[in-house]
């Protein structure tokens, strides 16, 4: 019903930047709200940033505020995560997710569709 395809992960030096992209296909109502999660080894999958359909509301985890920016281009059915000033603790598998609800949510269980995950590694 919905497919999410991620790109942009990789290896970067601390202080550098990466831009993740997630292209969505399927029912429009299924991607009203989109988010980026990350999961490091031995840790829970946590929401990094979320965005509503219009882009008028966004959410950022405290750990990334001021460094990461989530955006979306609905004409391209794509959501982006611009990651600046990367730190080694940002190293994780990053997942794109979407939900068929116009409200922001922070719990993984509130998102019904997921990408395959892309590895982001930040070296010190």
Contact in structure between 103 and 67 (CB atoms under 8 Å)? no
Residue 81's nearest CA partner among 73, 89, 109 is: 73
Q: How is residue 103 written in tokens?
A: 């409200």
pLDDT of residue 106 exceeding 80? yes
What is the reported pLDDT for 81? 98
Give the tens place of pLDDT for each residue, 49-103: 999 999 999 999 999 999 999 999 999 999 999 999 999 999 999 999 999 888 8
Q: What is the CA radius of gyration of the chain?
A: 13
What is the reported pLDDT for 103? 87
Contact in structure between 26 and 2 (CB atoms under 8 Å)? yes
What is the reported pLDDT for 31? 83
């Amino acid at each position: 019903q919905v497919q999410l395809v991620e790109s942009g992960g990789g290896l970067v030096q601390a202080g550098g930047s990466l831009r993740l992209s997630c292209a969505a296909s399927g029912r429009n109502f299924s991607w009203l709200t989109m988010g980026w999660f990350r999961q490091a080894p031995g840790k829970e999958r946590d929401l990094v940033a979320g965005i509503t359909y219009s882009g008028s509301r966004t959410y950022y985890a405290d750990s990334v505020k001021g460094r990461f920016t989530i955006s979306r281009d609905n004409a391209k059915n794509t959501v982006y995560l611009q990651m600046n000033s990367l730190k080694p603790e940002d190293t994780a598998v990053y997942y794109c997710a979407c939900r068929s609800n116009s409200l922001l949510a922070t719990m993984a269980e509130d998102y019904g569709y997921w990408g395959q995950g892309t590895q982001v590694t930040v070296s010190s």
